[in-house]
Amino acid sequence: MLEAIGLQKTFQTKAERVFALREFTYAFPEKGLVFILGKSGCGKTTLLNLLGGLDVPTAGQLLYNGEDVAAFSARRREEYRAAHVGIVLQQNNLFFDLTVRENILFCAGEGADPEPVARQLGIEELLDRRINELSGGQAQRVTIARALLQDADILLCDEPTGNLDAATGEEIFRLLKELSADRLVVVVTHDRQSAETYGDAVVRMRAGKIEQTMQADGSGGEACAEDEP
Ligand SMILES: Nc1ncnc2c1ncn2[C@@H]1O[C@H](COP(=O)(O)OP(=O)(O)O)[C@@H](O)[C@H]1O
Ligand SMILES: [Mg+2]
């Protein structure tokens, strides 16, 4: 389980000290889909970077199964990231003139097999196509396949549908929902409606802090507490 306790991140620029994350405390579930909402600049990407071990907080703890990732050495943090974390970004960071297969395998170890994960994401027919021969939604599936290849138990997605049309975005959210049956999926989005439709929990941030958290009600999954009269 992943638990953030008082996570803080400041950046020192020439002119000032920026509080990107002021105080973020939240216990993420082991599995499920958690959405992070909030205005641009409120600290969402900073938070994902900390959760993924890509960056270290200036204060606070990030407990993964009780161990503080924030206190790990750089090497141990890299091991944590490699073993547990998959990352999906808005700009998909794929190599456009390589094939789907080559892209999925790009960071994978010797002998990795792209087929099971490609099948899971419905892109097995596309393995030998180049990225520039895919639609935006297909390309985003490739990014997710790459992130999942190492069997990540934490999938972090930073505005994964930001460059997609609404219908394709919806497809990706449904896919992330499916994937969250077996792992924790944390998704930053501006799409409040999808967050409330698909999220098991929604965290709304403001100025580096949590403004509100909403838990989907277990029964139907459609309503978030905030929507109740
Ligand atoms: N490397 C950095 N140096 C200085 N300020 C930064 C850096 N990264 C982010 N920030 C600042 O931290 C705040 C939060 O940024 P970010 O986490 O990217 O927000 P969001 O993803 O919610 O748009 C913003 O004010 C941003 O300008
Ligand atoms: Mg961001």
pLDDT for position 222: 39
Is 7 part of any domain?
no
The confidence score (pLDDT) of residue 191 equals 93
Nearest CA to ligand 1 atom 9: 20
Which residue's alpha carbon is nearest to atom 26 within ligand 1? 41
Interacting residues of 121 by C-beta distance below 8 A, sequence separation 6+: 141, 144, 145, 148, 175
Q: What is the pLDDT of residues 178-220, one digit of tens each?
A: 999 999 999 999 999 999 999 999 999 999 999 999 998 643 3
Could you tell me if residue 97 is inside a domain? yes
Residue 99 lies in a domain: yes
Assess if residue 191 is contained within a domain: yes
Whether the predicted pLDDT of 160 surpasses 50: yes
Looking at the chain, list the stretches that DSSP marks H as alpha helix, in order from N- to C-terminal side: 44-51, 74-84, 100-105, 115-120, 136-148, 166-179, 192-198
Contact 210, 22 (CB under 8 A): no
Distance CA 76, CA 83 (A): 10
Please report which confidence band the pLDDT of residue 229 belongs to, taking 50, 70 and 90 as the band edges: very low
Within 6 Å (CB) of ligand 1, which residues are found?
11, 13, 18, 20, 38, 40-46
Which ligand is in closest contact with the Cα of 36?
Answer: 1
Classify residue 92: in a domain, yes or no. yes
- In a domain, residue 73? The reply is no
Q: Is residue 220 part of a domain?
A: yes
Which ligand 1 atom sits closest to the C-alpha of 43?
A: 17
Residue nearest to atom 20 of ligand 1 (CA): 41
Residues 6+ apart with CB under 8 A from 119: none
In a domain, 13, yes or no: no
Share of the chain above pLDDT 90, in %: 81
- For residue 171, the CA-to-ligand 1 centroid distance in Å is 29
CA Rg value for the chain: 18
pTM (two decimals): 0.90
Which ligand 1 atom sits nearest the alpha carbon of residue 13?
4
**Nearest ligand 1 atom to alpha carbon 205:** 22
Which residues face 204 on adjacent strands? 37, 212
Ligand 1: centre distance to CA 160 (Å):
18
Residues with Cβ–ion distance below 5 A, ligand 2: 44-45
CATH of the domain at 137: 3.40.50.300
| Structural domain for 111, as ranges | 30-46+81-227
The answer to whether 187 touches 33, Cβ cutoff 8 Å, is yes
Judged by its nearest atom, the ligand closest to the C-alpha of residue 39 is 1
Our count of domains for the chain comes to 1
Ligand 1 centroid to 124 CA: how many Å?
Answer: 37
In this prediction, residue 217 carries a pLDDT of 63
Average pLDDT, the chain: 91
